[in-house]
Chains A and B, each alone.
Chain A
């Protein structure tokens, strides 16, 4: 088991390395010169060179990549002598646009993304799984049809569409909610909740739809399994049969799926955060892309990949714990 985890972590490292390398390559090859962008409207070649040196983008590709990588583990120093700026260990560089430490930028925004992700996850699990369960147990009834119509809606409606309609109806027209912003929970819990409820709902709608469909399919499959018949033949109460024998096998695959989806969201809900003006990692990514702020894009990409890859490992381990049949491959 420890050997296995070690192997998996090594795999994580390799994938992250590849992700960073690829991202680096693409930005290195495709992106315009950041120095020229920074230089602004009154620029001359000499200044561009100065800025390039300052940013360290005058070096060859591999050297830059190496600096970037070693910066993550050992920190790095920009510039020389008195003007040198040190960037401590998990160093992902400084934003080209704002000169802020990228790590600081991300850590400042991560709580928002986490809040969005956690709230949405709670909602979508609750709604998705219960809707799926009800429609599986009442398969063929209007309950089932209603839930599945709802699910189809969630799958077919783009989330920015839902987001805007929701905002228009609830905030602009009915004024039951204030305009969302990014408040602290401690300051004003009610406003905090009111601000996040829409992003949660919008995100949860899409995911809940998918989870409802999946849960329904899984539960239907499980209900048809022979072991369900065995359980009933034992004379167990029907609720126990459902809870113990039907639910666990149906939900195990969903748990693993959930791990991945959740991790994906931690990397930022790009569209939802943008629409609702939440200052999370997703919005940071969108903004940075708009400004071509490479260090930030790199960092967000890496971080998102990190979450997903780690979730992948966790999910696999979890699966092995949840499903006794699972064997870890050598």
Chain B
């Protein structure tokens, strides 16, 4: 897992290249940039971690890449997937890429599955959108996908509805949907927050295996720094919509340059730490209200 620096970095063949991404919300009180001038690159077989506190723009960044920004939000800058500019592409063109070339695991697994359909249908429809296969074949793929995310009895569970699964299981189903088409790029937005530590470990392992098998590039969004340190090769630290620091994981964790990154690292409660006063992250929230 902990492979050293990826080489395929500047050979021009980056899987995803984001340059100067800015996401703007038009609000009644004027435009608000929730992401400003963000740049990063994701290579094949590589995982990029994005960390930052809640509201720092992590999800907006990933939605911008998928072309799924909510109404009222616009993205500018450049997003290249496999060298092709996708920002500003028509929805129809993007649709061909979504699911197939890039997939996303959404942050909120409870509401991200349609309660009216079995999970089986929701997985197979993703697969069938891009593969011309029979219903039966798609079902086999779906069972397989469920199995891979460690859902027991997948052939039975495939016909269950989302509400019949626990939060953690639903999160894994989201992952199964994202992975079933074996996309080139997976964006995982806090995929393990609803999971128990034990299950979380399993899922992380699964994602790593998959990456090794298929060469998928991944963006892993979380605010759990420990998790990021385990899965990512490179890390982007965000705060207030801007990138405060970026670099290899090792670099960020062993020699953080920015004060915010340092404070963040210091705030992590540690098992092996002494019982000393926890370091607080500056004055980012206190006093100020929004």
A→B interface (CB under 8 Å): 225-227, 229-238, 240, 244-245, 248-249, 252, 322-325
Contacts and interface: CB of A to CB of B under 8 A. Distances in A.
Given A235-B130, A236-B125, A237-B95, 7 more contacts: A230-B112, A230-B113, A230-B122, A235-B99, A236-B99, A322-B116, A325-B161
Contacts of A225: 111
Interface stretch (B47-55, B100-108, B218-226, B269-277): B100-108
Contacts of A248: 116
A208 to B, nearest CB: 25
A233 B188 CA distance: 12
B8 interface: no
Given A227-B112, A249-B116, A323-B115, A233 B66 contact: yes
A240 B103 CA distance: 18
A235 B97 contact: yes
A236 B68 contact: no
* Chain B interface bracket (under 10, 10 to 19, 20 to 34, 35 or more): 20 to 34
A286 B108 CA distance: 56
A173 to B, nearest CB: 47
A235 B98 contact: yes
A233 B98 contact: yes
A324 B116 contact: yes
Given A227-B111, A229-B68, A230-B177, A238 B95 contact: yes
Interface string B35-76: 000000000000000000000000000010010100000000
Contact of A245 (B66, B91, B114): B114
A66 B2 CA distance: 85
Given A238-B95, A325-B161, A229 B129 contact: no
30 contacts: A226-B112, A227-B111, A227-B115, A229-B63, A229-B68, A229-B112, A230-B114, A230-B174, A230-B177, A233-B66, A233-B99, A233-B104, A233-B106, A234-B103, A234-B126, A234-B129, A234-B177, A235-B95, A235-B97, A235-B98, A235-B99, A236-B126, A236-B129, A249-B114, A323-B115, A324-B115, A324-B116, A324-B161, A324-B163, A325-B161
Interface in B118-149: 118, 122, 125-126, 129-130
B9 interface: no
B279 interface: no
Contacts of A324: 115-116, 118, 161, 163
Contacts of B63: 229
Given A233-B68, A233-B103, A324-B161, A238 B113 contact: no
Contacts of A322: 116
B96 interface: yes
Contacts of B161: 324-325
B113 to A, nearest CB: 6
Contacts of A252: 116
Nearest to B114: A227
Contact of A236 (B95, B103, B108, B112): B95
A323 B117 CA distance: 9
B89 to A, nearest CB: 13
Contacts of A244: 117, 125
Contacts of B116: 248-249, 252, 322-324
A46 to B, nearest CB: 70
Contact of A234 (B91, B99, B115, B163): B99
A218 to B, nearest CB: 13
Contacts of B111: 225-227
Interface-centre pick from A226, A244, A245 (highest chain B CB count, 10 A): A226
Contacts of B104: 233
Given A249-B114, A249-B116, A325-B163, A235 B100 contact: yes
A235 B112 contact: no
Interface-centre pick from A230, A231, A323, A324 (highest chain B CB count, 10 A): A230
Nearest to B174: A230
A247 to B, nearest CB: 10
Contacts of A238: 91, 95
Given A229-B106, A325-B163, A234 B125 contact: yes
Return the 3 tightest CB-CB contacts between A and B, nearest first.
A235-B99, A235-B98, A234-B126
B135 to A, nearest CB: 15
Contacts of A245: 114
A324 B117 CA distance: 8
A229 B98 CA distance: 11
A245 B126 CA distance: 13
Contact of A226 (B66, B108, B130): B108
Nearest to A222: B114
A261 B111 CA distance: 31
Contacts of B100: 235
B68 A235 contact: no
A232 B174 CA distance: 14
